[in-house]
Amino acid sequence: SDEKNVPQYDAVVVGGGITGIYQVHLLEEAGHTVLGIEAGDDVGGTWYWNRYPGCRLDTESYAYGYFAMKGIIPEWNWEERFASQPEVLRYVNRAADAMDVRRLFRFKTTVVAAHYSDADGIWSITLSGGEVVTCRFFISATGPLSATRMPDIAGIETYQGESFHSSRWPTDSEGHPVNVDFSGKKVGVIGTGATGVQIIPIAAETAAELFVFQRTPNWCTPLGNEKISDREMDLLRNSYPTTLEYVKSTDTAFPYHRDPRKGTDVSAEERQALFAKLYDQPGYGIWLSGFRDLLVSAESNKYLADFVADKIRQRVKDPVTAEKLIPTDHPFGSKRVPMETNYYETYNKDNVHLVDIREAPIQEITPRGIRTSDGEYDLDVIIFATGFNAVTGALDRIDIRGKNGLPLKEAWADGPVTFLGLQSKGFPNFFTLVGPHNGSTFCNVGVCGALQGEWVTRMISYMKARGLTRSEPSEKAQDSWTEEVYRDFSRTLLAEANAWWVKVVEKPDGSIERRSLVHVGGGPAYRQRSEQVAYHDYNGFELS
């Protein structure tokens, strides 16, 4: 029976994206045996799958990636301030070369099931080919936005033209993404989240006609992308240690701190001056470095929302279209703010048409196009930029069972219950990197995922050194963490929007409750808490 108690691997990591490959590398470096599983035929994760035109970072390139790897890819040069998808994918590939992790991965493979056996504390992982591998620690690095969500529209399967979800761009016979040529074609886009907002201006350049099917407008602000010169890159490289300390000191690990003033405390002139400065500045500053009460005071929020609404009115020539593009259902920044390049000006083009599907809902997809209550739109191409089953979606697609065969989906039916967003009672030795209720998910994942992998590696090494084979959170620690996650969230205006990080639960009386899938209490507080837990011998986790 001794042999039975020895799993094939110390750890199996699911996902070969920016977080997963680093986790595999760290575990190996620390002397653990590890196997990585990845559905794609190479590393990259999000950057492997999302190959739609216009796809790029909305994080400053220099603030994304592996800081701890200063010594591994010191010669890397970012070309653009907000790198395009091909550039980020090259970066992840270069990092994978430097870490030499591909040999530790099984590609073109998915995890179908993961079952825990309480008798020996071992996870059995069933792979898509049917093979079963066993491990002590089962670690998901499946990404918060990887499980594609197709809309539930009648007749969708009858459509005869080309159609695809934004994160499953068509590929050739060898699996390489093809450049879809829109010229001369009638193109429809469903969805106006961060993805739709990146695709629409590019598609509009060549499509004969572009129809944007909008259900809910978003608050979008300028990206301000530009090339990075060699000289700038040298300066950025030399300041990497400082940059890391800086991003670690901010709530979301983006390089912005909030303005210490409250929007409600200053004069209208001062407010306008700050808004104007932030609107013209590249990136997320307008969301993350505005007044400190932006996401807690409805009044302060409305000042900025009104400012951005006026910008939309100035940029869109047709007043009716402009009003349709201005959100009325959610506060500014209560959903992720899409970073745009000429998005609003795109609606001034003669070949671009905004179809308000809140006013005239989509009834069905026909063999020829999309029928709304206003009539049928003939389309050669339909792009579904309809987002993802976020945060828990990728885990839901795996048959994960903990103690006594309990399915994870059942344990989390009313929303995730975790300690630190890392482990859930009843699922020993299962870690969710960048997972639900986790401080690395409402975060610049390129940085926070890596920091989390470093933490988990330390915990696994700690356990191994002491001959401990089981880790499971205590009920008390889990309950108080879950409560804290919901409490932090409910104190903000984020609780007023159906963003992708929210699970909308309908209550018996018909009212709805928005349960957060992420920890919004801030990165520094999250990491400090994690360090405290580690220092106190992983207090809150029951180790045996």
Q: How far is the CB of 336 from ligand NA7 (least distance, A)?
A: 4
Residue closest to 19 by CA, chosen among 112, 146, 198, 175: 146
What is the distance between the alpha carbons of residues 235 and 182, in angstroms, rounded to a whole number?
40
Q: Are the C-beta atoms of 350 and 356 separated by less than 8 Å?
A: no
Q: How far is the CB of 335 from ligand NA7 (least distance, A)?
A: 7
Q: Which of 11, 57, 141, 145 binds ligand NA7 (CB under 6 A)?
A: 145
Q: Which stretch binds ligand NA7 (CB under 6 A): 118-126, 188-196, 317-325, 481-489?
A: 188-196
Q: Which of 140, 192, 341, 482 binds ligand NA7 (CB under 6 A)?
A: 192
CB nearer ligand NA7, residue 21 or residue 370: 370
Structure tokens at 105: 């991965």
Q: How far is the CB of 521 from ligand NA7 (least distance, A)?
A: 19
* DSSP tag of 390: T
Please tell me whether residue 324 binds ligand NA7 under the rule CB under 6 A. no
**How many residues in the shown chain lie near ligand NA7 by CB under 6 A?**
17
Number of residues that this document lists for the chain: 544
Please tell me whether residue 195 binds ligand NA7 under the rule CB under 6 A. yes
**x/- track of binding to ligand NA7 for residues 353-372 (CB under 6 A):** ----x---------------
Q: How far is the CB of 280 from ligand NA7 (least distance, A)?
A: 22
With 0-12 / 13-18 / 19 or more C-beta atoms within 10 angstroms meaning exposed / middle / buried, residue 90 is: middle
Residue closest to 499 by CA, chosen among 295, 224, 346: 295
Q: How far is the CB of 58 from ligand NA7 (least distance, A)?
A: 7
What is the distance between the alpha carbons of residues 438 and 481, in angstroms, rounded to a whole number?
10
Q: Which stretch binds ligand NA7 (CB under 6 A): 191-199, 243-251, 407-415, 524-532?
A: 191-199
CA 380 to each of CA 92, 159, 208, 351, 376: distance values in angstroms, whole numbers, following the listed order: 34, 10, 10, 15, 13
Please tell me whether residue 220 binds ligand NA7 under the rule CB under 6 A. no
Q: Which of 121, 151, 177, 407 binds ligand NA7 (CB under 6 A)?
A: 151
Please tell me whether residue 331 binds ligand NA7 under the rule CB under 6 A. no
Structure tokens at 202: 């590019």
CB nearer ligand NA7, residue 7 or residue 40: 40
Q: Which of 15, 20, 45, 193 binds ligand NA7 (CB under 6 A)?
A: 193
Phi, psi of 145 (to 5 degrees): -135, 60
Please tell me whether residue 194 binds ligand NA7 under the rule CB under 6 A. yes
Please tell me whether residue 283 binds ligand NA7 under the rule CB under 6 A. no
Q: How far is the CB of 11 from ligand NA7 (least distance, A)?
A: 28
What is the distance between the alpha carbons of residues 470 and 424, in angstroms, rounded to a whole number?
13
Please tell me whether residue 225 binds ligand NA7 under the rule CB under 6 A. no
CA 344 to each of CA 200, 329, 374, 397: distance values in angstroms, whole numbers, following the listed order: 10, 19, 24, 37
Please tell me whether residue 55 binds ligand NA7 under the rule CB under 6 A. no
State whether residue 6 is helix, strand or coil.
coil
CB nearer ligand NA7, residue 253 or residue 357: 357
Name the H helices within 100-207.
194-206
What is the distance between the alpha carbons of residues 211 and 204, in angstroms, rounded to a whole number?
9
Please tell me whether residue 215 binds ligand NA7 under the rule CB under 6 A. yes
Q: How far is the CB of 388 from ligand NA7 (least distance, A)?
A: 6
CB nearer ligand NA7, residue 24 or residue 308: 308
Please tell me whether residue 161 binds ligand NA7 under the rule CB under 6 A. no
Q: Which stretch binds ligand NA7 (CB under 6 A): 107-115, 240-248, 298-306, 379-387?
A: 379-387
CB nearer ligand NA7, residue 27 or residue 355: 355
Q: How far is the CB of 216 from ligand NA7 (least distance, A)?
A: 3
What is the distance between the alpha carbons of residues 312 and 385, in angstroms, rounded to a whole number?
22
Q: Which of 16, 196, 331, 402 binds ligand NA7 (CB under 6 A)?
A: 196
Q: Which of 55, 385, 477, 517 binds ligand NA7 (CB under 6 A)?
A: 385
Q: Which stretch binds ligand NA7 (CB under 6 A): 97-105, 135-143, 189-197, 286-294?
A: 189-197
- 3-state SS string for 24-78: HHHHHHCCCCEEEECCCCCCCCHHHHCCCCCCECCCCHHHCCCHHHCCCCCCCCC
Our measurement of the distance from residue 109's CA atom to the centroid of its chain's CA atoms, rounded to an integer in Å, reads 22
CB nearer ligand NA7, residue 52 or residue 412: 52
Cβ partners under 8 Å of residue 289, min gap 6: 256, 257, 258, 259, 278
CA 251 to each of CA 65, 91, 186, 467: distance values in angstroms, whole numbers, following the listed order: 17, 25, 43, 36
Please tell me whether residue 216 binds ligand NA7 under the rule CB under 6 A. yes
Q: Which stretch binds ligand NA7 (CB under 6 A): 103-111, 176-184, 185-193, 264-272?
A: 185-193
Q: Are the C-beta atoms of 427 and 12 separated by less than 8 Å?
A: no
Please tell me whether residue 389 binds ligand NA7 under the rule CB under 6 A. no
Taking CB atoms, the residue at the shortest distance from ligand NA7 is 193
Ramachandran quadrant class, 100 (left: phi over 0; alpha: psi -120 to 50; beta: rest): left
Residue closest to 457 by CA, chosen among 431, 426, 423: 431
Please tell me whether residue 53 binds ligand NA7 under the rule CB under 6 A. no
Q: Which of 336, 401, 515, 519 binds ligand NA7 (CB under 6 A)?
A: 336
CB nearer ligand NA7, residue 400 or residue 445: 445
Buried b (16+ CB within 10 A) or exposed e, 64-83: bbbbebeeeeeebebeebbb
Q: How far is the CB of 25 from ligand NA7 (least distance, A)?
A: 25
Residues near ligand NA7, by CB under 6 A: 145, 151, 190-196, 215-216, 336, 357, 385-387, 500
